[in-house]
Amino acid sequence: MTTSRRLVSGMALFFLLMMGVRILSAQATPATPQADGVTKGPVTVEKPDPLKRPLSDKEKIAQQKALKQELKGVYKKWVDEDVRWIITDQEMQAFKSLGNDEERDQFIENFWLRRNPNPDSPDNEFREEHYARIAYANEHFAAGKPGWKTDRGHIYIAFGKPDNIDSHPSGGNYERPMEEGGGNTSTFPFEIWHYRYLEGVGDNIDVEFVDSCMCGDYHMTIDRSEKDALKHTPGAGQTLYEQMGMAKQADRMSGGLEQLGTGPMSQQQQSKQFDRLDTYAKLTAPPVIKFKDMESYMTTSKILTGPPFLFDVRTDYVKVTNDTILVPITLQIKNSDITFVNKDGVATGTVNILGRVTNLNHKAIQTFEDPVGVQVPSELLARKRNDASVYWKALPLRPGLYKIDIVIKDVNNPDHIGRWQRSLNVPRYDDDRLASSSLILAGTMERVPSRDIGAGNFVIGDTHIVPRVPTSIASPVTFHRAQSLNFWMQVYNLGIDEKSKQNGATIEYQILDLATNKAVLQTQEQTVKTNPNADQFTIEKSLPLASLQPGKYQVSIKVNDGVTKQQIAESAPFIVD
């Protein structure tokens, strides 16, 4: 009986244990209900991945500490010293989030590439200039710490050499200007750096540095009274109003951005305090990467929301070597399409220009970006609106097929955007083939001084030439009868006679009246009489138009090479009004 009870109890215990296991299993793997309401087999529930769970605040702090410890050596120096004054907060955050040296090296390469004015060049002019500025700052601005750490070093590295410096290295006697209260005082050593223009900051920027410790460490200040060494000396260094009994020296300490005291222009200065704060903030921020807001318009995917900003473009081709062709790009913008702002009797309009040349693989070969300013007296603005402003950029390119994108932006009307896209077929000049450059019709053409040969805007070789830009590819350019028709062209690969060692080409010039189809001018010249031993010839002619009646004409140039028996011809239409 006892044995039988024990057996029954054991079986019951075993049965209960098995039921418990089944209940636990059913709880761990719930059945999946189907659309028809029938519950089918159990589904396995995956355990959460501990690597994907959100980090706690404590774990995040530990991770950041580990990252700071990992960022050392050349990478820490690059962030803390090399690019400290030019790297943006977004770039800094992105760099610190990288996980290995390979990613950091790639980031640094792209960092400099974004700032390279010529992405196709192996030499990065921006990077070279940046490190040259650091070296200059360390040599000239050190003051118990490296020069790059000082305020003067900061501004010099970020913005370059000022246009002029008002330096007072010993301080001493100082006659205050009226905007600082007038009167005479004594100062600490100080410097005022003046920049005519700083991208992203503004025009006519003055940056003041004061060495109040007399230790050579000049700090930047927005309070022009900091240089006043007698500011806290009662009865000394009084302003004009203090000398006249119209103000008290103690009133200078009543608060405000500057402690200049009451003076003839104090009300005007108070209204400019926020401007000074804004300028200071822009100076201490990393320099902007120019015209990045215009990059999105390089593709046609972004729709222009504002009024179209129309402009005309002309491209020319001039041989430098067999592998290098100079491609002058001339932009013409009507002043009537530019938004002008009047200030102090001067009307100012500014247009930002961003251009990029890409190859067939969509790789950027050349990039250019420049602000173009137009300033006229306000009373002459109505008359000048009928004129046009011209911008010129000469790009050296190899022969081949390219695409050029140009975007312009009216700075005083940010929604006023213009866009232009074309293909560029840069010609190849083979040594055995008679060829020529573009035929350029110009409003201005003159010799340049020897020091300016081959350099500067609108300069080709030793000639300053401003091309006339047609309003469309098929449209002729327009000249007034009181002007002269200037035309320029180069001829390449003239044949040289083996015996005489001279060329023997004839160049014919013709001005054709397209209304009557009759030549109003026809002449020719021999290259052997002007430049007999050269295989290249430059044509520069200027024709007064007073004798021509208003109408449509065409200038034609034909070259017959008597040595190689080759011929070429170029022509261009123009209008006389």
* pLDDT computed for residue 141 by the predictor: 96
* pLDDT computed for residue 40 by the predictor: 45
* pLDDT computed for residue 299 by the predictor: 58
**Contacts of range 85-90, beta carbons closer than 8 Å, 24 or more positions apart:** 85/148, 85/154, 85/157, 85/158, 85/286, 86/130, 86/157, 86/158, 86/286, 86/287, 87/111, 87/286, 88/286, 89/286
CB distance 330 to 457 below 8 Å: no
Place of tokens 């609106």: 385
Structure tokens at 486: 């200037």
* pLDDT computed for residue 400 by the predictor: 93
CA atoms of 547 and 549, how far apart (whole Å): 7
CB distance 409 to 351 below 8 Å: yes
Per-residue model confidence as pLDDT tens for the chain (577 residues): 444 444 344 444 444 444 444 443 444 444 444 444 444 444 444 555 554 556 677 766 665 555 555 567 889 899 999 999 999 887 888 888 787 888 888 889 888 877 876 655 677 888 999 999 999 999 999 999 999 999 999 999 999 999 899 999 999 999 988 888 888 999 999 999 999 878 778 878 999 999 999 999 999 998 899 999 998 888 898 888 888 888 888 878 766 678 887 777 766 666 677 788 888 888 988 876 666 667 667 655 566 677 889 999 999 999 988 888 999 999 999 999 999 999 889 999 999 999 988 888 777 778 888 888 899 999 999 999 989 999 999 888 889 999 999 999 999 998 899 999 999 999 999 988 999 999 999 989 999 887 777 667 899 988 999 999 998 777 899 999 999 999 999 999 999 999 999 999 999 999 999 999 999 999 999 999 989 999 999 999 999 999 999 999 999 999 999 999 999 999 999 999 9
* pLDDT computed for residue 6 by the predictor: 45
CA atoms of 388 and 466, how far apart (whole Å): 13
Beta bridge partners of 317: none
CA atoms of 389 and 440, how far apart (whole Å): 18
Start-to-end Cα distance in the chain:
135
CA atoms of 483 and 443, how far apart (whole Å): 8
* pLDDT computed for residue 497 by the predictor: 93
* pLDDT computed for residue 244 by the predictor: 87
pTM: 0.54
Place of tokens 């501990």: 50
Place of tokens 């460490």: 217
Q: Which domains, from first to last, does the chain contain?
A: 68-160 (no CATH), 162-284 (no CATH), 290-428 (2.60.40.10), 430-577 (2.60.40.3880)
Beta bridge partners of 391: 331
